[in-house]
Structure formats: structure tokens, C-alpha cells
Amino acid sequence: MPPPVRPTPTCVDREWYSDGEMPAEAVQAGCKDIARQLFENIPNIDVIMGGGRKYMFPKNQSDVEYPGEKKHFGTRIDGRNLVEEWNNRMKNKKAHYVWNKKELLSLNPNSVDYILGLFEPGDLPYDLERNNERDPSLTEMVEVAIKILRKNPRGFYLLVEGLNPMLSDVDQKPFTAILYGNGPGFKVVNGLRENVSTLDYEENNYQAQSAVPLSMETHGGEDVAVFAKGPMAHLLHGVHEQNYIPHVMAYAACIGQNRDHCMSSSGASSLSAALPSLTALLTLTRLLC
């Protein structure tokens, strides 16, 4: 896709968070890891919040929150410190980097135009497992983001991503209404599938049963509907090819080659005031890709 429409990130493997997770041939071929894409492909994002802190720092650099745990050390083989680079690029702007809840909530949104918040070395935990003292909630992150972005009189675009755990699957015993065909929930008791009626569904780490044992559940093949609200929302109304969606977003936002229709006499009066001028990316719970 052309640069004005390219989503962030584009990758052949969702685990390529930094160059430390990429095969050597991919790095040599010029492929960008996901962390670099976040900072380089769209360098003027106003609000970035989520997890994935270790993918921004040089390999073996200790983490600010877990300095003694090697699994949380930096992973970048290229030695780059992407957070430091972001700070340097934003030094003449009202920009702040934060890594915990206290720092985030102490900011005055009226004096902040750009924010980078990285609250965990890897994935953000589910809300039930969140450290309430150190990690902000999804609600708190969204509230701060909106307070910063709403200052722009032309509006803003805010993407909020959340991921909820679980639901289940089966064979011949009582089974739950929503099923997993594969995943880590496969369990055999005395040669038979575990009886789901004996499980505690309210336990924080409840794991739905699966028919096929895998260390990680895979995506299904079901069509997923997409809908929208706002300018050009009529272009999204159900099931579409994935590569169609970023083109609609770019068209509605008057980005790149899509500027012309907003500059026309008819389009300018009805659309330009409502179209977003800022881009905000809020990736939560599961970072990127």
C-alpha cells in the first residue's frame, strides 16, 4: 500500500517486536521491526500508550521497573534507544515520556501535546492482574489521551485497543456456549476430558478448554464485521477485505492523495471542519501487530 495508507505495523511475523526477535536474513534484507515502525513510519503520533518497553531499549539494558529481572531487559541488537531518540526529537515540543501510573496522572494535559507511555516491559496484564499502584487502567489512559487531543479545534483520531481473555470449547461432556478449537486449555483427567461443570469460571486465571492441545490459541476463520461512526462512516458497513479499511480511513482523514476531495468547494464546507487532523495511537493489553 502507498505510504499515506500503510497501517502500523506491517510485518510478516507478529513476534518481530524488535530486531532481537527477527531472523538475521530479515534484518539484512531491510525489514523493520515493529517498534521501529511505530516511531519511524508515523513520527508525529501525538499519543502512544501501552506495553512493550523492553523492545525500545538496547539488548541487556536493565528495565526501570524490574532492574533485577533479565527477562525484562532490553532486546534491541542494533543498540538503539528508541525512547531516547523520541525524547531528542521532541525536545523543543511539549512532550513527555512516562512509565508508570503516577507519572501519567500527574501530568497537566493543558501543558502536554505529545506523550509516550510505556507501562510494562512486555504485554500489559489483564485488568484483574494489573498492579493498581504502578499500571494505569484502560479508562485512565483513555481519559488522559482525550484531554490532550481534544485541544485541537479540528478534532482528533483516537484508536483504543483492548483484549479480553477467554471462553471455551468441548467434546461429549457438558460444554460452554463459546468454544476454542485449540489452545492451552486442553486437559485430560483419567483419560477423559475434564468436566467443565466442576470448574471455577470466576477464578482470575480461568482457562477455557480446548479440543486440540496448543501452547497458544490461534485465530479462527470467521468473518469479522466492521462499522464506523463519523465522516465517511457509510463506507464501512459490515464485512470488508482488510486492505480496504486503511484506504477508507485515509480517505475520510484526507491523507496524502485523498486531499483533493476535501479541498473541493462542496467538500470543504461539509467535511474539513469535522475531519481529524491529529493521529493518536493507543495500543493496550497486547502491543502492536
- Do 14 and 72 lie in one domain? The reply is yes
Indicate if the pLDDT at residue 24 is higher than 50. yes
Query: Do residue 118 and residue 145 come from a single domain?
Result: yes
Question: pLDDT digits over 167-199, tens only?
Answer: 333 345 666 666 677 888 777 777 777 777 777
Distance (Å, whole) CA 30 – CA 90: 26
Same domain, 256 and 281: no
126 and 214 in one domain?
no
In a domain, 99, yes or no: yes
Q: Please give the order of strands across the beta sheet that includes 157-161.
A: 95-98, 114-118, 47-50, 279-283, 157-161
Considering the domain boundaries, does residue 91 fall inside one?
yes
Give the CATH number of the domain where residue 127 resides. 3.40.720.10
Q: What is the pLDDT of residue 266?
A: 53
In angstroms, the CA 254 to CA 31 distance is 28
Q: Is the peptide bond before 9 cis (omega within 30 degrees of 0)?
A: yes
- Whether 161 maps to a domain, the answer reads no
Q: Judge whether 252 lies within some domain.
A: yes
Q: Tell me, yes or no, whether 179 and 191 share the same domain.
A: yes
Mark whether 109 and 93 lie in a shared domain.
yes
Task: Choose the final residue of a domain: 221, 250, 265.
Answer: 221
pTM for the predicted model, two decimal places: 0.60
Contact in structure between 218 and 208 (CB atoms under 8 Å): no
Domain boundary among 179, 195, 221: 221
| Strand-pair partners of 22 | none
Collapsing DSSP to helix, strand or coil, 193 comes out as strand
More confident position, 105 or 4: 105
User: Are residues 53 and 175 both part of a single domain?
Assistant: no
CB 234 within 8 A of CB 249: no
What are the backbone angles phi and psi of residue 158, rounded to the nearest 5°? -120, 120
Residue 22 shares a structural domain with residue 142: yes
Structural domain includes residue 46: yes
Q: Which range of residues forms the domain containing residue 243?
A: 231-273
The C-alpha atoms of residue 80 and residue 84 are separated, in whole angstroms, by 9
| Domain assignment of residue 226, yes or no | no
Is residue 54 situated within a structural domain? yes
Other residues' Cβ atoms within 10 Å of the Cβ of residue 185: 19
Residue (of 232, 287, 285, 238) closest to 261 by Cα position: 232
Give the total number of structural domains in the chain.
3
Higher-pLDDT residue of 166, 134 = 134
The full length of the chain comes to: 289
Sign of CA dihedral 245, 249, 251, 257: negative
192 and 282 inside one domain? no
For residue 10, name the pLDDT band (cuts at 50, 70, 90). Answer: low
pLDDT at residue number 223: 85
Q: Are 174 and 135 within one domain?
A: no
**Contact predicate 7/260, CB 8 Å:** no
- Is residue 185 in some structural domain? yes
Domain co-membership, 140 together with 282: yes
Same domain, 138 and 203: no
